[in-house]
């Protein structure tokens, strides 16, 4: 919850131009010569090649001025809208069950509905108060302001009831609909894509891995997977540009997504995932380490933005 | 956006620091618009910030890169007595006089490809050369669109005698990497010793890095960045920090005291005596596989002291436990710290002056077996179960043969040492520390190359 994304588009464009003129090529990320590093920690690669990287003015200015993210941005907006449409639909099903007092139905619908939100969380975070209204956990906000999914989660799993949740359910659905309306106009630029992908994984790292996100329902793995899928979507969209700029990095990120998803696979159960409580300590640690292994090179995707 | 809010002026230094061989364009740029001019022109507006993040930052990075290239790699921007050379016949951090602080890290490899391990060691080598010379690692530290390659907390600090010592554990020679045939014959996990209370989270590891420095932040920075570089190839298995009295607290540089209050390391061999080091520490051509020539074996024991129990034992008990006087460090009955341990001396009633089961007597034995100790104290908060301090010793020794040296001494100690009452071994690991790295080479090259 933070980060204004509204300004940078214009600034960024100017910045790219300026960098092109100044032809400060040595800062061209040192990545061009890194093809050998397929195991590919990018920071390591930079270390290895930094001192010897030679200027490549042409390549740099070309990349900086011609990198065109229009397609990626359009595709991502399409994806966000699809996810939002489905999110509203699923949330409606969930809130209907809550209001009808169908406890078990509500429990079953809770985590799957949230996945549509978790995939596009950075967008929601960029849209003012929507994220806290929809997704705040107890103590994230003042008690009086607490609403949204986790308030209902507490009622369903801790208090084992839907009582008193009708208003919360109504507001949640309204917030979901508002999100759907707002994403039409959300400012999406290449910078948001790059930072958003990292942020999705940071979300996993700071709250899902620890089991804090879904402290009553223990459905953290649904969020975990959804965050990773959301980041993967962005990676897929930026992949062509990344392959041009730093093929080794592109390949490494791809491999690490595969590795992480393989780690997650055994925890599938039916259409969903096992309770986070059933994970053993070393299983959690391994997931966390695989996540860090992915997030590290992913955080270097900004290399496609030029300087 | 946060990163962009901060213009890079702070890193610019003065104009005088500009290397002469900077490209013409940079010089032109600097001439046209000095930093101050630019600030004035832009009035620190968003445009100014923009230039800071994009244009100027790039130039600063270019300048830094040019500087590094001009200095042929490892040459530091710092000079003076607080640099310990990274390259050499032997790794640093072994016969190097112990710095003030230790950060020790054991890693587990997550890859099963030997080529990945080699790449990791190559990347670690490049990083280590920078870390030990006080320069930022990597070339990308000013690009606003990327996380800086160096995490930055040691930026501007002196090298602080930072040394990084790398080794491989016995597990590295299992069936994962096809290196079983290269395992030195006598190199394996330590046998169980009487009284061991080892906890798995303090034991073993495929690789180790011993970071030592006169500044804890510098040592931590090294481990943190090496762990970061390893992501996707290796993960941390355990880490332990250590300390001893600092040089400034003890300008005379006396033998440091452990947390039991006694001097520790008095009987160490002389690291300046090359013949002695060859006979005690360095593995030679007659000692094992050729790839270990110039290397050595590290034994580490995490020893928790029963501090509260020790603190209520009498001074005479404490001295009899060590076989030395607490204040002077001299053997019981002697006045000079460095006096020979005379284990034959007896009092009027015929009792040995130095108890045969004292720590010094047992560790010394007949004096024929030596090792180079390089231990640090540790403090890891408190034991939540008992409310007692979790503090003790990160025992580290270097020797050319673990079995003949560390193990034979430790077997003696573990059975009879009076000190056992006041301590418990909670961690254990051994590593084959590679020979030194030549410039252009990489850590472990003799094994993997």
Say what angle helices A57-66 and A8-22 make with each other, to 10 degrees.
Answer: 160
Model confidence at B21: pLDDT above 60: no
- For residue A259, which of B147, B106, B110 has the smallest C-alpha distance? B110
pLDDT computed for residue B15 by the predictor = 33
Closest Cα in chain B, distance from residue A56 (Å) = 12
- Tell me the longest C-alpha to C-alpha distance in chain B: 92
pLDDT computed for residue B110 by the predictor = 97
Model confidence at A159: pLDDT above 50: yes
CB spacing of B120 vs A47 below 8 angstroms: no
Q: Are B421 and B300 in contact (CB under 8 A)?
A: no
CB spacing of A44 vs B1 below 8 angstroms: no
Nearest residue of chain B to residue A64 (CA atoms): B54
A7 at B interface, C-beta within 8 A: yes
User: pLDDT tier at A307 (50, 70, 90 boundaries)?
Assistant: low
Query: How many CB atoms are closer than 10 A to CB A68?
Result: 10
pLDDT computed for residue B139 by the predictor = 84
Q: Which one has a higher pLDDT value, B152 or A9?
A: B152
pTM: 0.80
Domain ranges of chain A: 69-305
> Which tens digits make up the pLDDT trace of A259-283?
999 999 999 999 999 999 999 999 9
B252 at A interface, C-beta within 8 A: no
Q: Cβ contacts of residue B98 below 8 Å, gap of 6+?
A: B212, B244, B256, B374, B376
Among B46, B47, B142, the residue with its CB nearest the CB of A27 is: B142
Cα–Cα distance for residue pair A171/B267, rounded to 1 Å: 75
Distance (Å) of CA B93 to CA A171, A240, B421: 63, 46, 31
Q: Are B297 and B187 in contact (CB under 8 A)?
A: yes
Cα–Cα distance for residue pair B362/B412, rounded to 1 Å: 7
CB spacing of B140 vs A25 below 8 angstroms: no
| Concatenated DSSP letters of A107-127 | HHHHHHHHHHHHTTHHHHHHS
Q: Which helix (H) or strand (E) holds B229?
A: helix B216-230
Closest Cα in chain B, distance from residue A15 (Å) = 6
pLDDT computed for residue B78 by the predictor = 60
Mean pLDDT over A120-149 rounds to 91
User: pLDDT tier at A207 (50, 70, 90 boundaries)?
Assistant: confident
CB spacing of B145 vs A49 below 8 angstroms: no
Mean pLDDT over A134-160 rounds to 95
Residues 185-244 on B with a CB inside 8 Å of A are 225, 228-233, 235
B62 at A interface, C-beta within 8 A: yes
Residues of A in contact with B19 (CB under 8 A): none
Cα–Cα distance for residue pair A275/A214, rounded to 1 Å: 10
Closest Cα in chain A, distance from residue B147 (Å) = 7
pLDDT computed for residue A305 by the predictor = 87
Backbone torsions φ then ψ of B429, nearest 5 degrees: -160, 150
Distance (Å) of CA B92 to CA B87, B95, B163: 8, 7, 6
Q: What is the average pLDDT score of chain A?
A: 82
Query: How many CB atoms are closer than 10 A to CB A280?
Result: 8
Q: What is the ipTM of this complex?
A: 0.76
Cα–Cα distance for residue pair B296/A59, rounded to 1 Å: 47
A288 at B interface, C-beta within 8 A: no
> Which tens digits make up the pLDDT trace of B279-315?
999 999 999 999 999 999 999 999 999 999 999 999 9
Q: Which residues pair with B107 in a beta bridge?
A: B207, B236
A194 at B interface, C-beta within 8 A: yes
Q: Please report, for chain A, how many H helices and E strands are present, in that order.
A: 13, 2
Model confidence at A232: pLDDT above 50: yes
Query: What is the assigned CATH class of domain A69-305?
Result: mainly alpha
Mean pLDDT over B197-224 rounds to 98
Closest Cα in chain B, distance from residue A70 (Å) = 19
Model confidence at B68: pLDDT above 70: no
């Amino acid at each position: 919850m933070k980060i204004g994304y509204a300004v940078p588009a214009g600034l960024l464009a100017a910045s790219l131009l300026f960098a092109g003129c100044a032809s400060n090529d040595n800062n061209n990320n040192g990545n061009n010569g890194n093809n050998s590093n397929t195991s590919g920690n990018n920071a390591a690669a930079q270390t290895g090649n930094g001192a010897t990287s030679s200027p490549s003015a042409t390549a740099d200015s070309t990349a900086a001025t011609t990198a065109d993210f229009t397609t990626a941005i359009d595709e991502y907006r399409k994806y966000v809208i699809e996810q939002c449409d489905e999110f509203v639909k699923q949330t409606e099903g969930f809130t209907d069950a809550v209001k009808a007092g169908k406890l078990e139905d509500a429990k079953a619908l809770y985590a799957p509905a949230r996945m549509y939100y978790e995939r596009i969380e950075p967008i929601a975070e960029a849209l003012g108060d929507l994220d806290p209204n929809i997704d705040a956990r107890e103590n994230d906000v003042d008690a009086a302001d607490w609403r949204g999914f986790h308030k209902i989660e507490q009622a369903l799993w801790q208090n084992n009831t839907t009582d008193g949740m009708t208003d919360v359910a109504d507001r949640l659905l309204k917030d979901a609909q508002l999100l759907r309306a707002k994403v039409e106009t959300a400012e999406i630029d290449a910078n948001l894509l790059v930072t958003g992908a990292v942020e999705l994984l940071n979300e996993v790292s700071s709250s899902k891995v620890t089991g804090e996100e879904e402290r009553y329902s223990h459905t953290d793995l649904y969020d975990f997977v959804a965050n990773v899928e959301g980041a993967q979507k962005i990676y897929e969209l930026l992949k062509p540009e990344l392959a041009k700029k730093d093929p080794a990095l592109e390949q490494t990120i791809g491999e690490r997504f595969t590795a992480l998803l393989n780690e997650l696979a055994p925890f599938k159960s039916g259409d969903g995932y096992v309770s986070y409580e059933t994970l053993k300590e070393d299983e959690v640690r391994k997931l966390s380490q695989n996540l860090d292994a992915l997030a590290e090179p992913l955080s270097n995707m900004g290399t496609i933005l030029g300087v | 956006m946060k990163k962009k809010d901060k213009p890079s002026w702070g890193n610019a230094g003065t104009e005088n620091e500009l290397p002469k061989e900077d490209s013409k364009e940079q010089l032109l740029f600097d001439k046209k618009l000095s930093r101050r001019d630019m600030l004035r022109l832009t009035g620190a507006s968003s445009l100014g910030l923009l230039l800071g993040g994009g244009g100027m930052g790039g130039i600063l990075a270019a300048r830094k890169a040019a500087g590094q290239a001009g200095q042929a790699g490892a040459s530091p921007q710092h000079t003076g007595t607080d640099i310990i050379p990274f390259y050499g016949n032997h790794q640093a951090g072994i016969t190097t006089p112990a710095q003030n602080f230790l950060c020790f890290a054991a890693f587990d490899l997550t890859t099963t490809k030997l080529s990945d391990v080699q790449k990791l060691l190559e990347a670690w080598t490049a990083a280590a050369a920078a870390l030990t010379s006080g320069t930022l690692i990597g070339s990308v530290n000013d690009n606003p669109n990327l996380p800086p390659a160096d995490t930055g907390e040691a930026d501007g600090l002196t090298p602080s005698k930072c040394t990084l010592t790398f080794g491989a554990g016995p597990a590295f020679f299992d069936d994962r990497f096809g290196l079983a045939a290269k395992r030195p014959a006598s190199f394996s996990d330590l046998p169980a010793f009487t009284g061991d209370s080892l906890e798995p989270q303090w034991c073993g590891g495929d690789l180790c890095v011993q970071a030592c420095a006169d500044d804890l932040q510098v040592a931590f920075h090294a481990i943190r960045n090496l762990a970061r570089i390893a992501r996707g190839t290796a993960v941390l298995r355990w880490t332990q920090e250590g300390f001893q009295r600092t040089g400034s607290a003890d300008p005379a540089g006396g033998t440091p005291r452990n947390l039991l209050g006694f001097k520790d390391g008095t009987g160490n061999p002389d690291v300046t005596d090359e013949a002695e080091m060859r006979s005690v520490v360095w593995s030679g051509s007659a000692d094992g596989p050729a790839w270990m020539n110039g290397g050595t074996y590290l034994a580490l024991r995490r020893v928790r002291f029963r501090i509260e129990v020790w603190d209520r034992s009498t001074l005479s008990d404490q001295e009899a436990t060590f076989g030395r006087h607490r204040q002077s460090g001299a053997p019981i009955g002697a006045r000079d710290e460095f006096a020979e341990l005379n284990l034959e001396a007896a009092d009027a009633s015929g009792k040995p002056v130095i108890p045969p089961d004292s720590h010094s007597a047992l560790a010394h034995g007949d004096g024929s077996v030596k090792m180079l100790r390089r231990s640090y104290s540790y403090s890891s908060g408190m034991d939540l179960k008992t409310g007692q301090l979790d503090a003790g010793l990160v025992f580290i020794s270097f020797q050319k043969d673990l079995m003949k040296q560390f193990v034979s001494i430790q077997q003696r100690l573990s059975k009879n040492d009076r000190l056992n009452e006041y301590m418990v071994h909670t961690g254990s690991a051994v590593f084959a520390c590679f020979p030194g790295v030549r410039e252009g080479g990489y850590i472990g090259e003799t094994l993997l190359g």
